[in-house]
Structure 1
């Protein structure tokens, strides 16, 4: 790996450790977690702080810097679909009392695709925790949003395709049947495929010309799948509202 690439990858690994549960880290904590010498990591943290991507707070602790907010705002502002989709996601969460989210397909190559959760609802949800509440990258073959986006993009089963539970799809034959069902039905369902007791539903968000922009999904306890018809109607209704705003006028 070229040195510049390795340096950027190292910085990304540091930044990704900051989340809602770990909003601050010390140098020693990060070094232990990453298995790196404190001398090496100290230089990385200094560089990130100088760039405004991190900020040093009391007693040698670090947290994310404000410059990331500027970059985030620029990214979301460049996506015309994001604002109406985010509003629809929040309304869906309030109406169903479930965790709602938006996911996108990020592809390095046809063989290497990532499912990134770019937004989650912050209100309207009750009930027990479900798998993936804080994850940014989701398993493409074991989640409703992942299966939906891969199937609609005509992508093969990812390799490797680890079995998280006995219900996880891990064979090309099972994936081919699942793809046909998703493309025919216009939605994806996962049932105990990532974690036992957690299931999901997802539908596509389409823009002008029928282009698939993202997946709008719900994560729910498997016990609530008995009401999946009503949840699907809510998902399709929310997706149709977004599509209409973006110029999509029908199925494709």
Structure 2
């Protein structure tokens, strides 16, 4: 293997190890990915040398610490994450519930950041996880605000909602309220950059109240907007 094919196979190995959730031996990896034994060993040796995979005492492989460094580096350099992080921390502390930042990357909605509260949803979804579009507040908002108006229409206004809610639609017993955040766009109106979303057990969500959550998160989103060069209020309420 050489060039692009080698890179593809190495990435296949990394994604397979990630999905497996446990250490795997070279033979298991090779069979799963239809790799010749010699090729699989060469790939694993090269990846282990750069610490993107680690070999345990039984000769099995798992994702390595270098992947953590690469992932955190990518996250910390993301301008949307940098702008939203202080707000995520403040809202998670205020509500005692988990607050997420969801945005489109590579055509898919993914969790870019999260700050956990003490409530129902403490473990999932995790950083980098894909979020379904059809049953989530983040999906509703991205569909409503995309695509942006034509770049040459400087007077266009964005018609999407100020927030969206899903109740038990993705995970039973879980309610989520999301609000869009925006970034400046040269030559045109702002465009959606992502969604701030609060997730709570449905009973807890109802106890706080949708309006109270929406009011606070909309204010929080405006703070993020300002850090991204956008001022003013956008959108109107929907559920």
**TM-score, structure 2 length as denominator?**
0.73
The offset of 1:130, in angstroms, is: 8.1
Equivalent position of 1:89 in the other structure: 88
Aligned residues: 215
Residues 149 and 16 (structure 1), Cα distance of their counterparts in 2 relative to 1, 3 Å cut: farther
Residue from 159, 176, 199 that aligns with 2:175: 199
Query: Offset at 1:38?
Result: 9.6
Output aligned runs, 1:1-252, within 5 Å.
3=5, 7-8=9-10, 10-17=12-19, 22=21, 25-27=23-25, 31=29, 34=32, 39=37, 42-107=41-106, 113-122=107-116, 124-127=117-120, 132=125, 136-154=129-147, 183-209=159-185, 210-226=190-206, 227-252=209-234
Alpha-carbon distance in structure 2 between the residues aligned to 1:117 and 1:195: 16
| Whole-angstrom CA distance in 2 between matches of 1:233 and 1:31 | 50
Residues 33 and 86 (structure 1 numbering): CA distance in 2 closer, same or farther, change over 3 Å? farther
Post-superposition shift, 1:56?
A: 2.1
When the two chains are superposed, the root-mean-square deviation of aligned CA atoms in Å is 3.4
Aligned position for 1:174: none
Instruction: Give the CA deviation at 1:131.
Output: 6.2
* CA-CA distance at 1:32 after TM superposition: 11
Checking the alignment, whether the CA contact within 8 Å between 1:11 and 1:48 is kept in structure 2 is no
Cα distance in 2 for partners of 1:37, 1:240 equals 50
Q: Which runs of 5+ in 2 are unaligned?
A: 149-157, 235-239
TM-score (norm 1): 0.69
Unaligned runs of 5+ residues in structure 1 are: 108-112, 156-181
**Highest CA radius of gyration, 1 or 2?**
2
